[in-house]
């Protein structure tokens, strides 16, 4: 069984909602669209207070090449363009839309019929994807059209689809594969056409045997798509780890990117979004979100319109349990703890996880006993204990030399540390500082 070569851990999987079919969530009363829900420049609002919008109306234009447009997921009236508290508690500009009815733009093909044929040129496909505001649905939210436009001198050799879903608890991608297998495969073919390659791999972890079986059966009808079952190991869903696992190539240290080894990695959710954008003219305004937690009454997978507050999803899954200590947007390894539950679902929201009091708090940190378990666990071959200590002391030169910028913040080190040291807190700090130093240095040149 294939997997990546360095480090890795195996957290308890807890895929509580794996057996739950995707349900469509009711419309919210008010939908909120933060203007910055992707990596890159924030989008610029093109609607104002009082404007009437339909489902699928563009409400914000991309703010640059590395940016993405935002579409309304509801029909109704723009209430205001103001600031909203985002997942991290800071205020960010956003568009508020009061929901009235559910009227869709006519250009969107709402039939469920599978459209296999795609006669567009690669350039047209990329333009369409860009226009639809599609971004990486795995969580990082990198605009998809940027990834599909290789920088000069680089040539894509294959498309790798990330269907690993290595985060514990989350099942959104799993369910999507079971229910929309054909659409995903057509989406993959479109992606292959967009970057002009004839080979695509879909990496699926071995804890989803039903998805592997179904996808392998269906993939036989599509040329050049191979399903690669992978051994269960976190963080296999990391782009670099996945490339290593599937085609055995390792992306060199930053600033190198996957395209340098000829790979274009896309999430399985993104492939589905690409299918909808290209074949159905449907921009990205809804996604599958897993709502889960050990104390939650009814862990589920919801097809959710963007802009729906997370509290509504929690209500739909049985309400917030009494013992909730932490609400996480995303999975437990890399997700963000939320300061409030009114945060809207964005393009990158793959899940809402409720942790109970007991699991939520960190245990008290003990001194480092130099057991080297973090070094063994690090999938990037770094020395987390050293990076953390040097960052805590502000020794930025040292941490840069020790390749802190290679860190993918997967959290394997902290997960495995017997002394429960908050290593990643410090490493993130160091990464931020070193990143700023490098940018300043490059700007000087």
Partner 1 sequence: MANKLIVSLSPHVHSGDSVQKNMYGVIIALIPALLVSFYMFGLGAVIVTLTSVAACLFFEWAITKFILKRERTTILDGSAALTGLLLAFNLPSNLPLWIIIIGALVAIGIGKMTFGGLGCNPFNPALVGRIFLLISFPVQMTSWPVAGQLTAYTDAETAATPLALMKMAVKGDATALEQLPSTMDLFLGNNPGCIGEISALALLLGLVYMLWKKIITWHIPVSIIATVFVFATLLNLVDPAKYADGLTHLFTGGLMLGAIFMATDYVTSPMNHKGMIIYGIAIGFLTVLIRTFGAYPEGMSFAIFIMNAFTPLINTYCKPKRFGEVVKK
Partner 2 sequence: MDLILIAVISLGAIGLVAAVILYAASKKFAVYEDPRIAQVSEVLPQANCGGCGYPGCSGFAAACVKAGSLEGKLCPVGGQPTMEKVAAILGLEAAASEPKVAVVRCNGTCANRPKLTKYDGVRSCVVANSTYGGESGCTFGCLGCGDCVSACTFGAIKMNPETELPEVDESKCTACGACAKACPRSIIEIRPKGKNNRRVYVQCVNKDKGAVARKACTAACIGCGKCVKVCPFEAITLENNLAYIDPAKCKSCRKCEMECPQNAIIAVNFPPRKAKPAEETAPKAETATPKAETVAPKVEKPATEQPKAETPAQEAPKAEA
Q: Identify the CA nearest to 386 among candidates 416, 419, 430.
A: 430
- DSSP, collapsed to helix, strand or coil, labels residue 265 as strand
Question: Could you give the CA distance from residue 97 to residue 78 in angstroms, rounded to a whole number?
Answer: 4
Q: How many CA atoms are closer than 13 Å to the CA of 333, on its beta-carbon side?
A: 28
Q: Is the Cβ of residue 88 or residue 298 nearer to partner 2 in the bound state?
A: 88
Q: Is the Cβ of residue 127 or residue 360 nearer to partner 2 in the bound state?
A: 360
Question: Which partner in partner 1, partner 2, none is near 77 (CB below 5 to 8 A by kind)?
Answer: none
Token couple for 399? 């941490």
Q: Does 388 bind partner 1 (CB under 8 A)?
A: no
Q: Does 401 bind partner 2 (CB under 8 A)?
A: no
For residues 85 to 114, the per-residue mask of contacts with partner 1, x marking binding by CB under 8 A and - elsewhere, is ----x-------------------------
Rg of the chain over CA atoms, in angstroms?
A: 21
CA distances 338 to 137, 374, 395, 406, Å, are 19, 27, 31, 26
Q: Is the Cβ of residue 19 or residue 432 nearer to partner 1 in the bound state?
A: 432
Name which position in 108, 127, 337, 438 contacts partner 2 (CB under 8 A).
337
- Contact present, 208 and 296 (Cβ < 8 Å): no
DSSP structural state of residue 178:
H
Question: Which partner in partner 2, partner 1, none is near 357 (CB below 5 to 8 A by kind)?
Answer: partner 1
Name which position in 42, 168, 203, 283 contacts partner 1 (CB under 8 A).
168
DSSP structural state of residue 122:
H
- Contact present, 34 and 135 (Cβ < 8 Å): no
Name which position in 99, 334, 343, 390 contacts partner 1 (CB under 8 A).
334
Name which position in 27, 265, 417, 434 contacts partner 1 (CB under 8 A).
417
**Helix 181-194 to helix 209-219 angle, to the nearest 10 degrees?**
60
User: Tokens 């990464």 label which residue?
Assistant: 431
Q: Does 381 bind partner 1 (CB under 8 A)?
A: yes
Question: Could you give the CA distance from residue 445 to residue 442 in angstroms, rounded to a whole number?
Answer: 5
For residues 350 to 369, the per-residue mask of contacts with partner 2, x marking binding by CB under 8 A and - elsewhere, is ----------xxx-------
Question: Which partner in partner 2, partner 1, none is near 91 (CB below 5 to 8 A by kind)?
Answer: partner 2
Q: Does 358 bind partner 1 (CB under 8 A)?
A: no
Residues 214-273 that bind partner 2 (CB under 8 A): none
Question: Which partner in partner 2, partner 1, none is near 139 (CB below 5 to 8 A by kind)?
Answer: none
For residues 37 to 76, the per-residue mask of contacts with partner 2, x marking binding by CB under 8 A and - elsewhere, is ----------------------------------------
Name which position in 130, 240, 305, 347 contacts partner 1 (CB under 8 A).
240
Name which position in 5, 29, 91, 196 contacts partner 2 (CB under 8 A).
91
Question: Could you give the CA distance from residue 330 to residue 311 in angstroms, rounded to a whole number?
Answer: 14
Question: Could you give the CA distance from residue 443 to residue 431 in angstroms, rounded to a whole number?
Answer: 18
Question: Could you give the CA distance from residue 212 to residue 229 in angstroms, rounded to a whole number?
Answer: 7
Question: Could you give the CA distance from residue 67 to residue 65 in angstroms, rounded to a whole number?
Answer: 6
Binding site for partner 2 (CB under 8 A): 85, 87-91, 337, 339-340, 360-362, 392, 422, 425-426, 428-429, 432
């Amino acid at each position: 069984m294939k997997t990546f070569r360095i480090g890795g851990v195996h957290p308890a999987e807890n895929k509580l909602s794996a057996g739950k079919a995707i349900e469509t969530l009711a419309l919210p009363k008010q939908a909120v669209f933060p203007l910055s829900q992707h990596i890159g420049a924030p989008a610029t609002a093109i609607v104002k207070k009082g404007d009437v919008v339909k489902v699928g109306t563009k409400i914000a234009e991309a703010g640059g090449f590395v940016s993405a447009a935002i579409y309304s997921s509801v029909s109704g009236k723009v209430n205001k363009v103001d600031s909203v508290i985002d997942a991290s508690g800071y205020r960010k500009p956003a568009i508020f839309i009061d929901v009235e009815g559910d009227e869709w733009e006519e250009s969107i093909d709402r039939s469920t019929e599978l459209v296999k044929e795609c006669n567009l040129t690669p350039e047209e496909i990329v333009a369409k994807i860009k226009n639809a505001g599609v971004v990486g649905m795995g969580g990082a939210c990198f605009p998809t059209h940027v990834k599909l436009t290789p920088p000069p001198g680089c040539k894509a050799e294959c498309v790798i689809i990330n269907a690993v879903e290595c985060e514990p608890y989350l099942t959104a991608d799993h369910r999507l594969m079971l229910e929309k297998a054909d659409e995903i495969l057509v989406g993959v073919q479109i992606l292959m056409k967009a970057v002009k390659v004839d080979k695509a791999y879909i990496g699926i972890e071995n804890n989803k045997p039903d998805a592997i079986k179904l996808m392998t059966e269906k993939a036989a009808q599509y040329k050049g798509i191979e399903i690669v079952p992978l051994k269960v190991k976190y963080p296999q869903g990391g782009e670099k780890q996945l490339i290593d696992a599937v085609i055995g190539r390792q992306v060199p240290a930053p600033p190198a990117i996957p395209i340098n080894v000829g790979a274009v990695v896309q999430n399985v959710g993104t492939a589905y979004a690409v299918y909808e954008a290209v074949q159905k003219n449907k921009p990205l305004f809804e996604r599958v979100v897993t709502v889960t937690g050990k104390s939650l009454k009814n862990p589920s997978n919801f097809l959710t319109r963007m802009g729906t507050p997370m509290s509504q999803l929690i209500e739909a899954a049985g309400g917030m349990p009494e013992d909730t200590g932490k609400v996480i947007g995303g999975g437990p390894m890399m997700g963000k703890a939320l300061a409030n539950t009114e945060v809207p679902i964005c393009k990158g929201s793959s899940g809402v996880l409720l942790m109970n009091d007991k699991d939520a708090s960190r245990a008290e940190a003990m001194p480092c006993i130099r057991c080297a378990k973090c070094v063994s666990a690090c999938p990037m071959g770094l020395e987390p204990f050293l990076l953390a200590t040097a960052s805590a002391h502000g020794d930025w030169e040292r941490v840069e030399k020790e390749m802190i910028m290679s860190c993918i913040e997967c959290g394997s080190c902290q997960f495995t540390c017997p002394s429960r040291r908050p290593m990643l807190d410090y490493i993130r700090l160091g990464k931020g500082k070193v990143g700023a130093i490098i940018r300043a240095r490059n700007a000087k040149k």
